[in-house]
């Protein structure tokens, strides 16, 4: 074991931790800490009363030598550790989300476009009155082992911040048995101080939620020497309604691409098939459980099911005989930054500049994979890649070397987030792909702290002012990540659907079904699939993509096959603000074993408790054209 004096600095991992809200008063679980190894808590993400568990973000400390190499994890068994966290919710005092400000259309660089000018939310409040829109409980501190285990101590609870005079709970700190930090976020509560119903998907004056973010710091005294640890950041996000289904572009893909393009990380060189190629292809197929269009194109039994052993064997074979297949797959993907529309390319996902009505001219109406993903796919298509016949087994976290653990923590947290499209997004939005936000040397995934207080950015924000040196992205402040998101989060989740236009189809394009499902296999359908006494044809029909039910049926969709009703009396967005914890969570379940024609596992909507009142209300709504709503 290395000697203690080899440690010259300390760093917190993950660099960006992700917590998620839940309405269970006491129940919570830990997020993933190793890639490919998600955690499934007892009770399938709900407590005994069916309430959604909060997902905690855990932060660990690692000692580094003078070359910046990881030596070992540091715990309270050998060191005095004092954690400090400061989170805030600044959404209501921020600017409207209109469109990602870093794209050509927002800068006015495309024909027929002019620069986007985003106005302040809650403009009827001015001057000192706007302070009531900022939920800023200040910093909290914690130390020791198993501290605040049962909660309830105001010294470790972020419950003193107010929205228009009303206290808002944003979360709390705890420690585990080794003195590691646990951050638990809010309980998913959103409300309006003036009683006005929500009307838009992103900008609803008078409203607030309990999402937040902020810096994580630690002072570590080891062997008589005190270190101020290299800091991290915690981001609180909405629930993950399809845990284990990864976005086509994850937050890890996004930040890895940014780090390579900004030269803060070396490119991987020759891609590894199982690390760099197969995950993207597998996600196309895994999305079958949350979107019926992907099920029809890439799902179980289709020619393009990239999980199929036979197809995988050909895809990971560098032989010239397999090159036509590899190239066909590569050329099916949309080229990032292409100057022309590629509407029929993969993936069939709305983009940052989505427009629902023709004429559609902006190539960013559809999302593309990252430039790094595309470059690695090109190399693979040309036969330039590392390959072995089968993927290496996932190494358990406690069997990893310390340096591998630190990297795993950074990656695992971000792999379960969505790296696009950003309209605005699931956990975070477009500022996360701006290099100005990050430390420039040695820590490619660490958000940079702002030096000094922020200036007043005025009443209007444009692309040029948002991206300027000294602007709102030039260093991060508590609440500075989540303020760009929808307010409240539920209105965006209830609006992020698929195939808004009937002429575009019933299932595609989509937004981010890996977090907000579109079409699901219900528990009733699953029961038919599993019932070996049923005729085989009926069991297969129950599994078929065409029979999937809308996840937001009874809230946004009056019935299967009808277009979404996004506004009316009552307002579906308002219904979801109350019913967000009663919708289903899509979870992995056993598959039948009586015949060899079934998938290895199934993913099934579980825990849905939407009552008839919500369904009756939405049945009375007329179909609405959402063009101006999203």
3-state helix, strand, coil in the chain (%, to 5): 25, 20, 55
Kindly report which listed range (98-102, 114-118, 362-366, 393-397) carries the lowest average pLDDT score.
Answer: 393-397
CB-based contact 106:446 (threshold 8 Å): no
Residue 578 in tokens: 């109350």
Residue found by looking up tokens 């930090």 in the block: 181
Q: For the chain, give me the number of helices (H) and strands (E)?
A: 14, 23
- In the predicted model, what is the mean pLDDT of residues 79-87? 98
CB-based contact 203:495 (threshold 8 Å): no
Residue 143: pLDDT above 60? Answer: yes
1 vs 114, higher pLDDT: 114
- First CA to last CA distance, the chain: 56
> Confidence class of residue 394 from pLDDT cuts 50, 70 and 90?
confident
Q: How far is CA 367 from the centre of its chain?
A: 16
Choose among 521, 598, 599, 587: nearest CA to 244.
587
Q: How far is CA 62 from the centre of its chain?
A: 26
For residue 368, count CB atoms less than 10 angstroms from its CB and return exposed for 0-12, middle for 13-18, buried for 19 or more: buried
Kindly report which listed range (71-80, 237-246, 490-499, 557-566) carries the lowest average pLDDT score.
Answer: 557-566
Residue found by looking up tokens 């509560």 in the block: 189
Q: For every residue of 434-492, which 3-state class applies, written as one string? A: CHHHECCCCCCCCECECCCCCCCCCCEECHHHHHCCCCCCCCECCCCCHHHCCECHHHH
CB burial string 441-461: b at 16+ within 10 A, e below: eebbbbbbebeeeeeeeeeeb
Residue 627: pLDDT above 70? Answer: no
CB burial string 56-66: b at 16+ within 10 A, e below: bbbbbbbbbee
Among positive and negative, which fits the CA dihedral 547, 549, 554, 556? negative
pLDDT, one tens digit per residue, over 415-438 is 999 999 999 999 999 999 999 999
Residue 561's pLDDT is 58
> Confidence class of residue 442 from pLDDT cuts 50, 70 and 90?
confident
pLDDT, one tens digit per residue, over 353-382 is 998 888 888 999 999 999 999 999 999 999
Angle formed at CA 487 by CA 422 and CA 522, multiple of 5 degrees: 70
Top mean pLDDT of 108-122, 280-294, 567-581 is at 280-294
Residue 124 in tokens: 């009827």
Residue found by looking up tokens 């629930």 in the block: 239
> Confidence class of residue 562 from pLDDT cuts 50, 70 and 90?
low
CB-based contact 347:334 (threshold 8 Å): yes
**Which stretches does DSSP call E strand in 507-575?**
519-520, 549-550
pLDDT, one tens digit per residue, over 591-615 is 999 999 999 999 999 999 987 655 5
- Which run of H or of E encompasses 234? strand 232-237
- In the predicted model, what is the mean pLDDT of residues 613-618? 52
Residue 540's pLDDT is 97
42 Cβ contact partners less than 8 Å away, ≥ 6 residues apart: none
Residue found by looking up tokens 């197929």 in the block: 285
Average pLDDT, the chain: 93
């Amino acid at each position: 074991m290395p000697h203690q004096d080899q440690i010259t600095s300390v760093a917190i991992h993950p660099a960006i931790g992700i917590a998620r809200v839940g309405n269970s008063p006491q129940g919570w679980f830990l997020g993933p800490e190793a890639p490919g190894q998600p955690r499934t808590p007892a009770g399938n993400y709900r407590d005994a009363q069916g309430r959604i568990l909060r997902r905690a973000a855990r932060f660990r400390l690692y000692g580094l030598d003078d070359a910046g190499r990881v030596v070992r994890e540091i715990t309270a068994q050998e060191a005095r550790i004092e954690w400090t966290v400061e989170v805030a919710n600044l959404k209501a005092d921020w600017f409207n989300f209109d469109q990602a400000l870093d794209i050509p259309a927002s800068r006015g660089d495309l024909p027929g476009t002019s620069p986007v000018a985003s106005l302040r939310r809650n403009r009827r409040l001015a001057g000192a009155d706007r302070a009531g829109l900022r939920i800023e409980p200040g910093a909290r501190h914690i130390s020791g082992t198993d501290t605040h285990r049962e909660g309830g101590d105001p010294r470790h609870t972020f419950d003193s911040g107010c929205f228009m005079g009303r206290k808002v709970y944003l979360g709390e700190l705890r420690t585990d048995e080794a003195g590691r930090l646990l951050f638990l976020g809010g309980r998913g509560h959103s409300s309006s101080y003036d009683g006005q119903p929500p009307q838009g998907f992103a900008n609803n004056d008078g409203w607030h939620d309990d999402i937040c973010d902020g810096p994580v710091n630690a002072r570590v005294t080891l062997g008589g020497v005190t270190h101020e640890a290299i800091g991290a950041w915690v981001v609180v996000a909405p629930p993950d309604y399809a845990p284990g289904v990864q976005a086509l572009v994850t937050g890890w893909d996004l930040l890895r691409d940014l780090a390579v393009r900004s030269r803060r990380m070396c490119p991987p060189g020759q891609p590894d098939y199982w690390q760099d190629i197969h995950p993207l292809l597998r996600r196309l197929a895994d999305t079958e459980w949350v979107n019926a269009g992907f099920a029809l194109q890439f799902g179980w039994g289709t020619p393009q099911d990239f999980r199929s052993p036979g197809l995988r064997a050909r895809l990971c074979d560098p032989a010239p005989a397999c090159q036509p297949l590899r190239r066909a797959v590569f050329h099916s993907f949309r080229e990032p930054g292409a100057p022309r529309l590629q509407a029929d390319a993969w993936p069939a996902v709305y983009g940052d500049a989505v427009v629902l009505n023709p004429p559609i001219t902006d190539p960013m109406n559809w999302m593309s994979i990252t430039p790094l993903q595309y470059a690695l796919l090109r190399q693979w298509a040309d036969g330039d890649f590392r390959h072995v016949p089968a993927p290496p087994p996932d190494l358990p976290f406690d069997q990893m070397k310390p340096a591998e653990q630190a990297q795993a923590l950074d990656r695992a947290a971000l792999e379960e987030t969505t790296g696009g499209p950003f309209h605005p997004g699931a956990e975070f939005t477009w500022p996360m792909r701006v290099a100005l936000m990050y430390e420039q040397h040695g820590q490619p995934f660490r958000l940079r702290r702002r030096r000094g207080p922020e200036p007043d950015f005025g009443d209007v924000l444009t692309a040029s002012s948002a991206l300027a040196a000294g602007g709102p992205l030039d260093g991060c402040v508590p609440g500075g990540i989540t303020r760009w998101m929808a307010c409240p989060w539920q209105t965006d989740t209830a609006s992020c659907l698929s195939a808004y236009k009937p002429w575009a189809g019933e299932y595609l394009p989509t937004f981010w079904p890996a977090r907000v499902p579109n079409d699901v296999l219900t528990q009733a359908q699953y029961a038919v699939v599993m019932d070996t006494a049923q005729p085989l044809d009926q069991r297969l029909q129950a599994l078929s993509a065409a029979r999937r039910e809308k996840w937001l049926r009874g809230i946004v969709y009056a019935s299967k096959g009808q277009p979404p009703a996004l506004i009316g009396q009552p307002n579906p967005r308002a219904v979801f603000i109350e019913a967000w914890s009663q919708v289903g969570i899509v979870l992995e379940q056993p598959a039948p074993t009586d015949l060899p024609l079934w998938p290895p596992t199934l993913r099934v909507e579980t825990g849905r408790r939407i009552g008839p009142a919500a369904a009756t209300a939405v049945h009375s709504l007329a179909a609405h054209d959402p063009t101006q709503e999203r």
